[in-house]
Chains A and B, each alone.
Chain A
Amino acid sequence: MDKISRREFLIRGAALGLAYGGLGLISAPNILRAVTEPTPSDRLDLAVAKGGNPTDNTVKAIQALGGIERFVKKGSKVVLKPNCLAANPPDMASTTNPAVMVAVVKMCLQAGAREVVVTSHDPERSFQISGITEACSGAGARVVVANSRDLYQSVPVLRGRLLQNVEIIKEILDADVFVNIPIAKHHSQTDVTLSMKNLMGINWNRAYFHQNGLDQAIADLNTVVKPDLIIMDANRILLTNGPGGPGQTRDEKTVIAGTDPVAIDAYTATLFDRVPRDIRHIRYAYEFGVGEMNLDKLNIKEIAVN
């Protein structure tokens, strides 16, 4: 996806300064070149690793996207957001598989991350029963159960239709790299809960979302916080009685990685035999330019993992 980066904007800003100073020349062709020279990994929207165990699928999907080093630089602080909504063991597919979390924690640390934090606004018990606390701590991450309001900071929502501000976990606002690691599940209210819905767990006041319009609030939240990387755990998906389960599950043996939350969710929705446009928060987020929901416009690479 070619977009103007912060650095390129500074170049343009300097050129504008010259122009405003009266010299009247800016180097438009250079700016254009900067904009239109995507790296190979930029061209890939989604990497879908299929067939292996959760660890191998995760590693292969990230590698296909350009490797974790594309996102995590030496000395950076990385925050990971799993789904640990329910106090259920991982085989019930209502929480992110700890093996996926461990794979990401290890890759981040190997890439030179200064610190890896795992956080979510979920009960401490869910962190424990899901195996996420033990697995992530063991792999070298710091686990923060974000159950206290002083861990949050209010942020305005200028692009949202329903929300005017949200309170976000400070650790995420302070992070150099934010990685969203949801699990793909059925949801009784939003039909499915994927990457965009998973961000509900970085915000304090969930009740407001439910009371006023859940799908729109989810889309609004995603205009404020855009993860640097999304890793969708679809190794085993929850088909019914979501989000807490227990319900029917299916082994998909799949991990999907990408940077566009709408694209990831649109693709994952098809695993549930849903049309992306029919999932309201996917459509709303698309309407706000959060990402692309038309799968035929995406460059998707599928990788068979043995």
Chain B
Amino acid sequence: MTRDMMWLSKGSTVFLMLLLWILPVRTLANNVTMFELGHELLEEQNYAEALLAYEAFVKENSQHHLVPAARWTMANIYLTINEEYETAAGLFRQIVNENPDTEWEIFACDRLGYCLEEQEKWGEAAAVHEPLVRELSISGNDAVTLAWIDGLKGRLLSCYRNMEDHESIIGVYEEILSENPAAPSAPQDQYNLAQTYLDIDNSKAAAENFVLVVERYPVSNYAQRVNDEHGEMLTSQVGYDWATYSTFQSGLTLGQTGQYEEALARFEEVIKVKRDAGMVYAARFQKELIEYRKNGDATALREKVASSSDDYPFGLGGVNVAQLDNLLGGIIEAQEAIASNPDDINGYIQLGQCYYFTQAYGRAIEAYEKGVVIAPDNSYFHNMLGYSYINLQRYDEAISSFQNLIDVAPEDPNSYDSMAEGCCLKGDTTAAIKFYERALATDSSFSNSYYMLGQIYYERGDNEKAIAHLERYLEIDAAGFRAQNAQGLLDQLNPPSSDDVEP
């Protein structure tokens, strides 16, 4: 029993009686007073009294919309401060029961699971997690991401592992996948199912399920992981022939770099070879995507995406449907804006950006070029023109666009940073170094140039300079999106000495 809770056991009855005595009068004035008092006490870390205040609020305002919030906070105090898991679990369970089909239900289930896991009640915890995992995996919820759902799945898995119950894990994944193999989390679930079979040394079933990852979701990262990590196993266990997957990947690359006819030919070949397998659907959608990149018709593709559940039983092969729909909507919106005002600079920016992110780089270039005609000094257009050309591997035109960028924005370090990237991709790292250094001469805190220089020096084997630049990058942008990579490179360059390694 913590010190706070000792206080609670002695003084709580009197305190609660007094709170309740004055409460009816207070309630007339403002029925959230006790709720707010709870917050103040919480800030003072007076958890015992905060509990009493919240309890008094709930008692006197049972129908108030803040009751779940009050119960939630009480439960959290019991869970994280007092470590009274039974009491916390009771409150979370109450929130679950009283708030079906709300975010409260999702999050209270999650915390209820924690309480049970802390008590090593694996079976009970699994019983709480399983329906939630199943529901969220099939239909999702805007309140949480796939990563969060995956974390929950991991905990469910861990419960079953502790119970040595692999059959249940397999059962969950199989049910989720049979319910909706087109769900956004399906590639990951299919991969995890295979991995579970691997965990229990059923390599044949593992291989069969890894094959489904590749066949149904060839665009997803999970297909690439299977190829990288288990490629040989699939060949030896089930005789999987990777040739068609390679053709598919080649089609993807060609389609992203503007070589549309060659890409279409590759996907045709996939369709011919695979016949009824999952990869056929993915290849058919890639063909649609390429047609869109050629003709720029966002409306037509959007209609196809909307009807995808009928035409594409496994989704779009691993393409993020929501993101694609959002970008296509952006194109239609921008086209409408431009139609009503042909000089709408922001319309061209949005149009170019949405085409760019759907990898319709040719269309993006058209939009940005129109933008340049209206606003020749707008650095954004020159920069994005350069990057569009880079994606089409047209490096000379990219460098020409970046030169225009430098001309219109010589004070902006990003101008030199972009030019450096163009030079780097063309293979001229000496020029790239010069431009990165120029970016840093313009702004010594421009973190990206430090990172890129670090990487170039790393690849050149100049470890001293690589370390200096990567460390400087981390000093400036420790939470940046390249921080993990920078740290990874530094760890390779600065391996821990034997003194640092614990016995």
Contact = CB atoms under 8 A, between A and B. Distances in A.
The answer to whether A and B assemble together is yes
Given A241-B349, A246-B349, A158 B80 contact: yes
B1 interface: no
Interface string B336-358: 01000000111101100100000
Contacts of A207: 479, 481
B29 A9 contact: no
Contacts of B337: 248
Main secondary structure of the interface of B (DSSP, over half): helix
B103 A248 contact: no
A215 B445 CA distance: 31
B30 A248 contact: no
B143 A164 contact: no
Interface string A147-190: 11100000010110110100000000000000000000000100
A218 B241 CA distance: 48
A205 B479 CA distance: 7
B346 A149 contact: no
A26 B344 CA distance: 69
B107 A161 contact: yes
B37 A4 contact: yes
Nearest to B47: A158
B26 A159 contact: no
Interface stretch (B61-69, B264-272, B291-299, B490-498): B61-69
B349 A35 contact: no
B446 A125 contact: yes
A159 B40 contact: no
Which of A4, A20, A204 gathers most chain B CB within 10 Å?
A: A4
Contact of A149 (B103, B353, B478): B478
A131 to B, nearest CB: 14
Contact of B14 (A20, A121, A206, A247): A20
A158 B73 CA distance: 6
B8 to A, nearest CB: 14
A36 interface: yes
A123 interface: yes
A147 B103 contact: no
Interface string B449-486: 00000000000000000000000000111110100000
Interface stretch (B15-23, B166-174, B396-404, B429-437): B15-23
B217 interface: no
Contacts of A36: 29-30
A124 interface: yes
A4 B144 contact: no
A248 to B, nearest CB: 4
A2 B68 contact: no
Contact of A9 (B40, B81, B104, B443): B40
A287 B69 contact: yes
Interface residues of B, number: 61
A212 B142 CA distance: 11
B353 A212 contact: no
A188 B327 CA distance: 10
Given A159-B69, A212-B145, A246-B349, A204 B479 contact: yes
A246 B26 contact: no
A212 B147 contact: yes
Nearest to A288: B69
A121 B480 CA distance: 11
A97 B502 CA distance: 53
Given A147-B478, A148-B478, A158-B42, A35 B30 contact: yes
Contacts, number: 142
Question: Number of contact residues on A: which range applies?
Answer: 35 or more
A226 to B, nearest CB: 9
Given A19-B14, A216-B103, A241 B353 contact: yes
A216 B145 CA distance: 10
B80 A215 contact: no
B387 interface: no
B33 interface: yes
B288 interface: no
Nearest to A29: B25
B26 A35 contact: yes
B445 A125 contact: yes
A288 B68 CA distance: 8
Which of A36, A204, A280 gathers most chain B CB within 10 Å?
A: A36
Contacts of B389: none
A289 interface: yes
A154 to B, nearest CB: 13
Given A159-B42, A241-B353, A206 B479 contact: yes
A162 B349 CA distance: 35
A213 B346 contact: no
A3 interface: yes
Interface in A246-290: 246-249, 280, 284, 287-289
B363 interface: no
A215 B143 CA distance: 7
A213 B479 contact: no
B162 to A, nearest CB: 22
6 cross-chain pairs, A with B, having the tightest CB-CB distances, nearest first: A161-B107, A3-B36, A212-B148, A248-B346, A213-B144, A36-B29
Given A212-B147, A213-B148, 13 more contacts: A6-B40, A28-B21, A36-B29, A147-B479, A149-B479, A162-B148, A211-B148, A240-B350, A247-B349, A249-B346, A280-B143, A287-B65, A287-B103
26 contacts: A2-B30, A3-B30, A3-B33, A4-B37, A9-B40, A36-B30, A123-B477, A125-B445, A147-B477, A158-B42, A159-B69, A161-B72, A161-B103, A206-B479, A211-B145, A212-B148, A213-B148, A216-B143, A240-B333, A247-B349, A248-B337, A248-B346, A280-B143, A284-B143, A287-B65, A289-B36
